[in-house]
Amino acid sequence: MPGDALPPGSSDAVRGAPASLFGLPDEAARETRLAIEVPKLASLVLTHELEGEVKGLDASAGKLPPVAPVFLSFRLMVGIGLLMLAVSWIGWWQLRPNSRRPEPSSLLTASLLEMVFFGLGGGVLAGWYTTEIGRQPWLVYGVLTTAQAAGPVPAPTIALTLAIYIAMYLALVVAYVATVFRLARKVTTEEPPRSATGSLPAPRRLGAASA
Amino acid sequence: MNEIETALQAPGGWLPLAILAIMGLAMLAYVILDGYDLGVGTLLGAAGERDKDTMVASIGPFWDANETWLVLGVGILLVAFPPAHGLILGALYLPVALMLVGLTLRGVAFDFRTKGGADRKALWNRAFSAGSVLASLAQGYMLGQWVTGFRGDGWATLFSALIAVCLLGTHMLLGAGWLIMKTEGALQVAAVRWARVSLGLTAVGVVAISAATPLVGASIFERWFALPDVVLLAPLPLATLLLFFIVERSLRRLPTRLEQGNAYGDGVPFAGAVGIAMLAFYGLAYSLLPWLVVDRLTVWQAASSTESLWMIFVGACVVLPVIVGYTVFSHPVFAGKATALQY
């Protein structure tokens, strides 16, 4: 089934099927180019047996979503997720109590920003594309197809509103980020000193409480 | 109304009507409650810089709770009358999208006008009033389209455009009436002026809808002008006319009274506007029942299965008193004149 955790890149049923970590699916030629594969992994994940049979795309011919977007967005989602995991481990290593480094490195700061803006956004979006495109042609799986549920509104009208929403949200995101930075700067420049000596107390480092 | 009387015998008949009544209540509450804060937002464009903070503060504690009524109303339409939801929102796709853009701009501007920096405040104030105007116009256009049964011809479009402007006027009347109650000084006097202009627009809208609905279908015409009914229904337009007269007189007298420091009757324009909105709603409901989409879809044709309706009905019996309760509770809590904006 194409919506499964590790969509197999082949069209016929295979025993002991490999999982492709990456590749470029070619729907016309029915093959995955430049594939990097782990032998037998797809069979193990989907059937819990090394030699289990994994059905190919032909088994559900006519009820298939476009393969390439699902294949790629799924790998993008998993890749970003693993990257975020790696960043959290690097961060834990750099911030461990007896680390010689006094402040978090700029690499860590940059990685954190990327996790928030690129990682969360991109990863969630890619995951969403995987489920939504992967469910096609169904809207409610096995009950209602997208074509049956589509309303009478002409496509150009939908394109127009989509463009309006995207334009508005882009503007709002810019305003939002600008406001967040403005408020953050306001706190650092305007906050009155808290200690009697007139200087701000030193910021506490994560994990440094007992050091 | 024979079909309605026979329908009341079984749950399959009366449940859709009961849920329609709940949905109607939600829509009426929305028009009045969000009406006044959309109106205040619209009038923000006409106000002086110094008054804008007071105006926003006057609706601050209420505006987002007011919008929940729209969610309730459209939510009930979706779960209780799915075919009507599809037909109505499909036909109104573009105005609904524009309304959402307007409401989004407003909601964001509400916070960002104070948090976005002094140099950006004028921009967010403009977004606030533009969003309010857009949402009101879109809602009025939708009302016009719905009343004419989504015919989509030139006359219906022209009529809907007229109703769009008039509903904007009604929201402004509610908003101005609200400001007369909630503010003092020069702003209060300005609000009286705004209310007089918007009272005219409201009157045009009420007359236009009253004139147009009987012309939409012969059945609606008969319902109003058949012989015993026309006499029994006469109090409805007469009471509306009386309310217009009372509000007009109050707005004429208020400036001199306020100048003398006498605030007696500063709640009359708002109460009158609420009354006009209620009577107009009642008249519309009388005209169009049992149609959800005029001449195409009745309440019973559009209703979900009786089992689903029971669930919605029981749920509404729990949720509705809570929403009504906090709405009623919040207004006395924040009664009195609006104080300086703090958040």
Question: What is chain B's pLDDT, residue by residue, as a tens digit (343 residues)?
Answer: 566 666 677 777 888 989 999 999 999 999 999 999 999 999 999 888 888 888 998 888 888 888 889 999 999 999 999 999 989 999 999 999 999 999 999 999 988 888 877 788 889 999 999 999 999 999 999 999 998 888 878 888 999 999 999 999 999 999 999 999 988 888 889 999 999 999 999 999 999 888 888 887 777 788 778 777 778 788 888 999 999 999 999 999 888 888 888 888 888 999 999 999 999 999 888 888 888 888 888 889 888 888 889 999 999 899 889 989 988 888 888 877 877 655 4
Q: Are B198 and B170 in contact (CB under 8 A)?
A: yes
**Residue B322 and residue B31: Cα distance in Å, rounded?**
19
Nearest CA in chain B to A164: B101
Tell me, what's the pLDDT at A75?
Answer: 85
Are residues A182 and B116, on separate chains, in Cβ contact within 8 Å?
A: yes
Test B108 with A175 for CB contact under 8 angstroms. Answer: yes
- Distance between CA atoms of B295 and B281, rounded to whole angstroms? 19
Inform me whether the C-beta atom of residue A88 falls under 8 Å from chain B C-beta atoms.
no
Cβ-count burial B308-342 (b if 16+ within 10 Å, e if not):
ebeebbeebeeeeeebeeebeeeeeeeeeebeeee
Do the Cβ atoms of A175 and B115 come within 8 Å? Answer: no
Token reading at B8: 């009341």
The pLDDT, as a whole number, for residue A172 is 92
A152 min Cα distance to partner chain B (Å): 7
Write down the pLDDT at residue B25: 92
User: Closest Cα of chain B to A145: distance in Å?
Assistant: 16
Q: Report chain B residues whose CB lies below 8 A from the CB of A151.
A: 86, 90, 93
Closest CA to B86 of B94, B77, B95: B77
Query: Cβ atoms within 10 A of the Cβ of B189, count?
Result: 15
Mutate to test the interface with B, among A139, A162, A164 (most CBs of B within 10 A): A164
Digit-coded pLDDT (tens) for A27-75? 666 666 666 777 777 777 777 777 777 776 666 666 777 888 888 888 8
Report whether A136 contacts A65 (CB < 8 A).
Answer: yes
Rounded Cα distance between B206 and B243, Å, is 12
DSSP A205: P
Contact A168 B94 (CB under 8 A): no
Distance in angstroms (rounded) separating the CA atoms of residues B190 and B197: 11
Q: Cβ contacts (< 8 Å) between B94 and chain A: which residues?
A: 157, 160-161
* A155 touching B (Cβ < 8 Å): no
Question: Does the beta carbon of A180 lie under 8 angstroms from any beta carbon of chain B?
Answer: no
In a mutational test of the A interface, the residue from B87, B92, B96, B108 whose CB has the highest number of chain A CBs within 10 Å is: B108
Per the structure block, which two tokens stand in for B314?
Answer: 């029981």
Instruction: For residues A170-187, give the mean pLDDT.
Output: 86
B203-233 burial, b at 16+ Cβ within 10 Å, e below that, comes to bebbebbbebbbebbeebeebbeeeeeeeeb
Out of B86, B90, B112, name the one closest to residue A175 (CB).
Answer: B112
**Chain B residues whose beta carbon lies within 8 Å of the beta carbon of residue A161:** 93-94, 97
Note whether A151 contacts B90, CB cutoff 8 Å.
Answer: yes
Q: What are the phi and psi torsion angles at A59 (to 5°)? A: -60, -30
Q: pLDDT digits over A121-146, tens only?
A: 788 888 898 888 888 888 888 888 88
Rg (CA), chain A: 24
ipTM value of the model? 0.82
Predicted pLDDT at B127? 93
Inter-chain touch A182–B117, beta carbons under 8 Å: yes
Minimal Cβ distance to A153: which of B90, B112, B116: B90
Nearest by Cα to B299 from B89, B13, B71: B13
Residues of A within 8 A of B90 (CB-CB) are: 151-153
Q: Looking at the partner chain, which of A153, A158, A183 has a beta carbon nearest the beta carbon of B115?
A: A183
Q: Which residues of B touch A160 (CB under 8 A)?
A: 94
